[in-house]
Amino acid sequence: MGNTDKFEMIANIYDTPERIQIAKVSSDAIRNYLVDTKSKNAIDFGCGTGLVGMNLLNEFHSMLFLDTSQNMINQMKQKITDFNIQNVDTLCFDFEKESLSNLKADYIFMAQVLLHIHDVEMSLSRLFDVLNEGGHLLIVDFNKNENIASDIVHNGFNPGELSDVMAKIGYTDIQFDTFYTGSKIFMGQDASMFILDSRKGRGQ
């Protein structure tokens, strides 16, 4: 995944009050889309230091924290030890470089991760393969922001256009909503965030 080197360097100083606040509103938005998930397993994809997934631990039977940065995973492992968290695991892995055939999940959520992914369609396709039938992919990210020009991240997404890409892959029941607007939250710019819920096939 893009920008892994940068995240390796900032892992131990990542949990700022601003990031903790954004993670809270993101996890609250995700929670609104969860139905009967207590017996389900989830993946916090691109988990960083686990700020979003930690807020959702009680919603699932088990959770895998996955990131491309080993230092971020190390921070997550420390939290698991410090708080004696059960039913969780960690994995350092780069989906953009290879697929993981033996990984399966009922729910995958990714918060402010897609903007760092170079090949969006390929990654969404590989996540589709990981989902169990009837499973959900939940994406939280920034709406497209023309004030941002960057060589290292996408300048947000149009969720309608993203939905079209996902429908071609096979995702169904796609719905999205803008749930948060904040000051200087995206590379120093005011920005809004959307949540998108999608499903693989039918089921609960």
Contact 132, 126 (CB under 8 A): no
Q: What pTM value is reported for the model?
A: 0.94
**Domains within the chain, CATH numbers bracketed:** 4-200 (3.40.50.150)
Beginning with the edge strand found earlier in the chain, give each strand of the sheet holding 131-142 in spatial order.
88-92, 62-67, 41-45, 105-111, 131-142, 189-200, 171-186
**pLDDT digits over 174-201, tens only?**
999 999 999 999 999 999 999 999 999 8
- Longest CA span, the chain: 43
**pLDDT digits over 133-173, tens only?**
999 999 999 999 998 988 889 999 999 999 999 999 999 99
**pLDDT digits over 50-100, tens only?**
999 999 999 999 999 999 999 999 999 999 999 999 999 999 988 778 777
At 11 the pLDDT is 76
